Amino acid sequence: MSHKVDWAKYVEDQENLVTAKVSQIEINKNEDERNKADGENSDDAPEQFSPAEASLLQKIIRKGLVESKTDLEIQRKDPNSPLYSVKSFDALHLKPNLLKGVYEMGFNAPSKIQETALPTLLADPPQNLIAQSQSGTGKTAAFVLAMLSRVKPELRYPQVLCLSPTYELAIQTGEVAAHMAKFCPEIELRYAVRGEEVAKNTKLTEHIIIGTPGKVLDWGLKYRVFDLSKITVFVLDEADVMIATQGHQDQCIRIHKTLSKECQMMFFSATYNEDVMNFAEIIVPRPLIIRLKREEESLNNIKQYYVRCSNQQEKYSAVTNIYGTVGVGQAIIFCHTRRTANWLAEKMTKDGHAVAVLTGELSVEQRINVLDRFRNGTEKVLITTNVLSRGIDVEQVTIVVNFDLPVDVEGKADCETYLHRIGRTGRFGKHGIAINLVDSPASMLICQSIEKHFNRKINYLNAEDSDEIEKIGA
């Protein structure tokens, strides 16, 4: 995109492009790798999903901004960094045409991450920021708005660089930028992704580059079609995914080393662990850190129970007894393997339940269709593996069932996955129910380990006592 952009046409073209491509993509796998994986990933094996794949699904199915009820925790390392929040976009003193684009996107007031992060991102002198916020809370719009605000259109060279881990995620960010800058045709954008090529001995004139690390390295260091040292804003999106994807961490560090010390750094991630934070300290000097308060606090809204079962058939009976007795809106049932998920779905369907299944054998397009139908309430029960354990917010979900308790590769309790699984209920400050099906001494030990880890009581529930079941839904 080397000419001035008709943003309205560009938005339409990009949406059509994503729709056309989404049915063909298998993220982080080429054809040979997929064939190899198909032979290794049997129906009885625990399903594995790449972080980029899960993140893309979360972004694509979003139909609007999720209003997060989770408080933000501010950690200020730079004592000179200003910290205040805004309650309206007008208070940010944006360029009129940019503000017009924001309102046309349907953003009437800033979300929590936006009202806290944007004053810092737009402050002068520029401030570095590390921000954590789950998918759907407006973090992409926050850093895109900052990117667009920092552009000086009269300067005909790249000034803003945004890195995403995959082609598809870069396209998603570009869509947000296109919508927001609809009334700013003077701002030009270029994708640095597969399929995009530049002629030798040319220089890019677009203001914003959104791309993947490998292509950006080629253009910036190998072919030198733009000057990385002139970048004034550097955004690392999906940072947790970047680190989980082999090779991206080294590429990001190489790019970072060529940037000027005055370049503003923005680091965004849905989750933070020790590796992510260590990487953040390399990428972002003297940052203001905005993080969600620990999700364990959301456990206060969730009633947790365990049910003793002797075998898989008794687990099925427990599920149908609970679902038939408790007045639930929608339910998510987590299974360990594809075989179990398909078996459970078949039995529930035969018994007249409207059930959807989300497992690894589905194409990306099919998974998106399943999720859309569940979010719209066409199916009331979603049976899935761990791809949905993070980031999907469906307000009507009132019960989560662990048909199989989550375990790590060593067979020990996977407390993080458990937290994310049951966190699919109790969203938006509402109350939820989590049911854990225990069918062996080993799974009872796992349940007890989870209880001890979070210091939250998991109460016994007799799934054959309808009066007792009715009480949990009261």
Q: Which CATH number covers residue 137? A: 3.40.50.300
How many domains is the chain built from? 2
Judge whether 159 lies within some domain: yes
In the chain, what percentage of residues exceed pLDDT 90? 32
Region of poorest pLDDT, from 289-293, 355-359, 380-384, 464-468? 289-293
Q: Mean pLDDT throughout 354-366? A: 79
Judge whether 1 lies within some domain: no
Judge whether 457 lies within some domain: yes
Position 274 scores a pLDDT of: 73
Judge whether 155 lies within some domain: yes
The reply to whether 281 and 345 lie within a common domain is no
Q: Helix axis angle, 167-180 relative to 139-150, nearest 10°?
A: 60
Position 33 scores a pLDDT of: 41
Rounded CA-CA distance 474/469 in Å is 9
Q: Which residue has the higher pLDDT, 368 or 10?
A: 368
The reply to whether 46 and 195 lie within a common domain is yes
The reply to whether 21 and 149 lie within a common domain is yes
Residue that terminates a domain, selected from 272, 293, 314: 293
Position 194 scores a pLDDT of: 84
pLDDT at 117 over 70: yes
The reply to whether 402 and 269 lie within a common domain is no
The reply to whether 49 and 67 lie within a common domain is yes
Judge whether 84 lies within some domain: yes
Position 2 scores a pLDDT of: 41
Region of poorest pLDDT, from 57-61, 151-155, 398-402? 57-61
Residue that terminates a domain, selected from 265, 293, 321: 293
Handedness of CA 145, 147, 150, 154 (dihedral sign): negative
In the chain, what percentage of residues exceed pLDDT 70? 73
Judge whether 189 lies within some domain: yes
pLDDT at 224 over 90: yes
Could you report the per-residue pLDDT of 46-93, keeping only the tens digit for each?
665 555 555 555 554 444 444 444 444 555 555 455 556 678 898 888
The reply to whether 80 and 224 lie within a common domain is yes
pLDDT band at 230 (very low <50, low <70, confident <90, very high): very high
The reply to whether 105 and 246 lie within a common domain is yes
The reply to whether 345 and 462 lie within a common domain is yes
The reply to whether 164 and 62 lie within a common domain is yes
The reply to whether 134 and 249 lie within a common domain is yes
pLDDT band at 392 (very low <50, low <70, confident <90, very high): low
Residue that terminates a domain, selected from 262, 277, 293: 293
Domain that holds residue 446: 296-472
Region of poorest pLDDT, from 21-25, 95-99, 135-139, 303-307? 21-25
pLDDT at 332 over 70: yes
Q: Which residue has the higher pLDDT, 231 or 246?
A: 231
Mean pLDDT: which of 253-267, 320-334, 361-375, 428-442 is highest?
Answer: 253-267
pLDDT at 265 over 80: yes
Q: Burial-class residue 349 by CB neighbours within 10 Å (0-12, 13-18, 19+).
A: middle
pLDDT at 211 over 90: yes
373: left (phi over 0), alpha (psi -120 to 50) or beta: alpha
Judge whether 2 lies within some domain: no
Average per-residue pLDDT for the chain: 78
pLDDT band at 38 (very low <50, low <70, confident <90, very high): very low
The reply to whether 181 and 263 lie within a common domain is yes
Judge whether 419 lies within some domain: yes
The reply to whether 62 and 187 lie within a common domain is yes
Position 42 scores a pLDDT of: 61
Q: Mean pLDDT throughout 304-310? A: 94
Rounded CA-CA distance 309/462 in Å is 10
Q: Mean pLDDT throughout 21-34? A: 38
